[in-house]
Chains A and B, each alone.
Chain A
Amino acid sequence: MDAAFSLKDKTILVSGATSGIGRECALYFAQAGAKVVAAGRSAEKLDELKAEISGGGHCFIQADLGEVCEIESLANSIPQLDGFIHCAGADMRMPIKFSDRAAERKIFEVNYFSAVEIVRAIVKSRKMARGGAIVFMSSVSANFANAGHFAYGNSKAALSALAREMAVELAPRKIRVNSISAGLVETPMTKAFLESDSPELEADRKKYLLGYGKAADVARLALFLLSDASAWMTGGDITIDGGYSCQK
C-alpha cells in the first residue's frame, strides 16, 4: 500500500466522534495510525470509544457543539493538528409552518457554526500544520430537497460553501479543505427516519441503487481526503451516495 494513503503519526480532530460517521472515523483513523482527538457530547460514549479505539496517544474531549461556550472550550483544548473532520451533526424533519427560529438555529449551530468556530480557532492559533487537511461532512441534502428537511439541507449547503471559501483562505498555508456530500447512512441520527414507516421511506430507499450507506463507507473516503493521497485536492465536494443523485 502506498504510504500516502496512511494517517500514520498524524493527529486528527474528529468532532461528533461518539456516534455514527464520526465514531467510525475515529476508530478507522486510529487503525490507520492516527492519533485521534475525539470530541463528543456524551462522556459515557466517549468512555466507550476510549475502550474500543486501537493504538495510543489519543485524547478525548467532552463538548456539546450546540453550545457556543462549549465550542470555545473545545477550541482551547485542541492540540497541534494535521487534520480535522467535522462530523458533528443534528437532524430535523419539520415543515416550515411548524418549525421556529430557535429549532432552526440549533441545527445551524451544530452543523455549521461549530465548524466555523473550530476552524477559526485552528487558524488563529496556528494549530493546523502546513499541508494539513480539513473535511466537512456535508450531505446530498445540500442539493436535493425532501419535505420538512429545509433546516438540515440549508445548514449542509452552508457547510459545503464553507469548504470552498476556506479552501481559498487557507491555501497560502497549504491547508486543504474539502467536503463530503453523503447520502443516507445508517446511523443513530437517521434511525428514527429509517424506522418511521414514513410514506417517503420506500420511495427514498429505491433511489439508492446500492442501498443505504454504512458509516464505514464514508470513513474510507474521509481517510483519503485527510491523507497525503489527496494532496492536490482542495475546495472540492465529493458525493458518496450509493447512486442516489445520479438519476433524474
Chain B
Amino acid sequence: MTIMENFIKGLKENIDALENAEIRPDTNLASAAGWDSLAALSAMAFIASEYGVNLTAREISAAATPEKIFEIIQSKK
C-alpha cells in the first residue's frame, strides 16, 4: 500500500462521512455526501493524532483533496 493509499484508508476509517465514498487522491472531500462540520473536525483530529500535525479547518478546506492535504502535512512535519 502506498503512503497515499494508506492516508486515504485512514481518512475513510476515521471520518464517517467518507466511509462509503469513493475517494481518490484528487477527490474534493467536501463533495462527499454528508461532509459537514463533524467531518472537518474529525479530519483535523485524525491528522493530529496520526501525523502529529495540527491543521486548521481553513487549511483542509483550501487544500480540499487528499493529495493536497498530504502535501501540507509533509511540509509541516
Q: Give residues in A with beta carbon < 8 Å to B.
A: 93-95, 97-98, 146-148, 192, 195-200
Contact B36 A147 (CB under 8 A): yes
Which 9 A-B pairs give the minimum distances between C-beta atoms?
A: A200-B37, A98-B45, A197-B58, A147-B38, A198-B57, A196-B57, A148-B41, A199-B37, A147-B37
A199 lies within 8 A of B45 (CB): no
The residue that B58 contacts in the complex, of A97, A147, A195, with Cβ under 8 A, is A195
**A196 and B42: CB pair below 8 A?**
no
- The verdict on B69 contacting chain A, using a C-beta distance below 8 Å, is no
CB contacts under 8 Å to A, within B32-57, are 35-42, 45-46, 49, 56-57
Interface size on B, as a range, is 10 to 19
Q: Given the known inter-chain contacts A98-B46, A98-B49, please indicate yes or no for A147 contacting B61, CB distance below 8 A.
A: no
Q: How distant is the Cα of A195 from the Cα of B57 in the complex, in angstroms?
A: 9
CA–CA, A200 and B30, complex, Å: 13
List chain B residues, Cβ under 8 A from A97. Answer: 14, 42
Total CB contacts across the A-B interface at under 8 A: 47
Which of A146, A195, A199 touches B35 (beta carbons < 8 Å)? A199
Contacts A98-B49, A147-B36, A147-B37 hold; do A197 and B42 have CB atoms under 8 A apart?
no
Query: A93 to B40, alpha carbons, bound, how many Å?
Result: 11
Q: Which of A98, A147, A196, A199 contacts B56 (CB 8 A)?
A: A196
Instruction: Please measure, in the bound complex, the distance between the C-alpha atom of A199 and the C-alpha atom of B35, giving whole angstroms.
Output: 9
Residues on B with beta carbons closer than 8 Å to the beta carbon of A93? 41
Residues on B facing A (Cβ under 8 Å): 14, 30, 35-42, 45-46, 49, 56-58, 61-62
Nearest opposing residue in chain B for A99, CB measure = B45
User: With A and B bound together, what is the CA distance between A211 and B41 in angstroms?
Assistant: 24
Minimum distance in angstroms from B58 CB to a CB of chain A:
4
Q: Is there an interface contact between B61 and A94, defined as CB atoms closer than 8 Å?
A: no
**CB closest residue in chain B, given A146:** B37
Most buried by A among B37, B38, B56: B37
Residues of chain B lying within 8 A (CB to CB) of residue A146: 37
For A197, list chain B residues within 8 Å (CB): 56-58, 61-62
CB distance from A191 to the nearest CB of B (A): 12
Q: Which residues of A contact B36 (CB under 8 A)?
A: 147, 199-200
Excluding A97-B42, A192-B56, A199-B30, 15 further A-B contacts by CB distance (< 8 Å) are A93-B41, A95-B38, A98-B14, A148-B37, A148-B38, A148-B41, A196-B56, A196-B58, A197-B58, A197-B62, A198-B37, A198-B57, A199-B36, A199-B37, A199-B61
B37 partner residues in chain A, CB cutoff 8 A: 146-148, 198-200
Which residue in chain A gives the minimum CB-CB distance to B58? A197
Instruction: Tell me the complex Cα distance, A199–B32, Å.
Output: 13
List the B side residues contacting A200 at CB < 8 Å.
36-37
- Distance, CA A198 to CA B38, complexed state (A): 10
CB distance from B66 to the nearest CB of A (A): 17
Residue pair B58, A95 in contact (C-beta under 8 Å): no
Minimum CB–CB distance for A147 against chain B, Å: 4
Bound-state CA distance A200–B39 (Å) is 11
